[in-house]
Amino acid sequence: MSTVELYHVIDGPEDAPALLLGPSLGTSTDVWERNIGPLAERFRVIRYDHRGEGRSPEPPGPYEIADLGRDVLALMDRLWIERAHVGGVSLGGMVAMWIGAHAPDRVDRIVPMCTSAHMPDAPWAERAAAVREAGSTEPIADTVVQNWLTPDYAAGHPDDRAWLRGLLLASPAEGYANCCEAIERMDQRDELRHIEAPTLVISASDDPSTPPEHQRVIADLIPGARLETIDDAAHLANVQHPDLVNDLIIDHLEGR
Residue 38 included in any domain: yes
Region 89-103: mean pLDDT is 98
Q: Would you state the pLDDT for residue 65?
A: 98
- Per-residue pLDDT tens over the stretch 97-106: 999 999 999 9
Query: How many domains does the chain fold into?
Result: 1
Q: Would you state the pLDDT for residue 27?
A: 98
Q: How confident is the model at residue 132 (pLDDT cuts 50, 70, 90)?
A: very high
Tell me: pLDDT of 77 over 70: yes
pTM equals: 0.97
- Per-residue pLDDT tens over the stretch 108-125: 999 999 999 999 888 999
- Provide the 3-class DSSP secondary structure of residue 47: strand
Tell me: pLDDT of 126 over 70: yes
- Per-residue pLDDT tens over the stretch 27-68: 999 999 999 999 999 999 999 999 999 999 999 999 999 999
Region 69-93: mean pLDDT is 98
Residue 1 included in any domain: no
Q: Would you state the pLDDT for residue 121?
A: 86
Residue 64 included in any domain: yes
Q: Would you state the pLDDT for residue 152?
A: 97
Q: How confident is the model at residue 1 (pLDDT cuts 50, 70, 90)?
A: low
* Residue 164: its H or E element: helix 158-169
Beta strands in the chain (DSSP E): 8-11, 18-22, 44-48, 84-89, 107-113, 200-204, 226-230
Could you tell me the residue range of the domain that residue 89 belongs to?
8-253
Residue 96 included in any domain: yes
What residue type is assigned to position 98 of the chain?
W
Q: Would you state the pLDDT for residue 183?
A: 98
Cβ neighbours around 61 below 10 Å, total? 18
Q: Would you state the pLDDT for residue 256?
A: 78
Residue 3 included in any domain: no
Averaged pLDDT score across all residues of the chain: 97
Nearest to 182 by CA among 63, 36, 4, 8: 63
pLDDT above 90 covers a percentage of the chain that reads 98
Q: Would you state the pLDDT for residue 250?
A: 98
**Cα–Cα distance for residue pair 252/234, rounded to 1 Å:** 21
Q: In degrees to the nearest 10, what's the CA dihedral of 124, 202, 70, 46?
A: 120
Q: Are 38 and 103 in contact (CB under 8 A)?
A: no
CATH code at 248? 3.40.50.1820
Report in angstroms the alpha-carbon separations of 189 from 140, 186, 219. Answer: 28, 9, 11
Residue 109 included in any domain: yes
One DSSP character per residue, 50-92 reads PTTSTTS----S---HHHHHHHHHHHHHHTT-SSEEEEEETHH
Residue 138 included in any domain: yes
Q: Would you state the pLDDT for residue 120?
A: 86
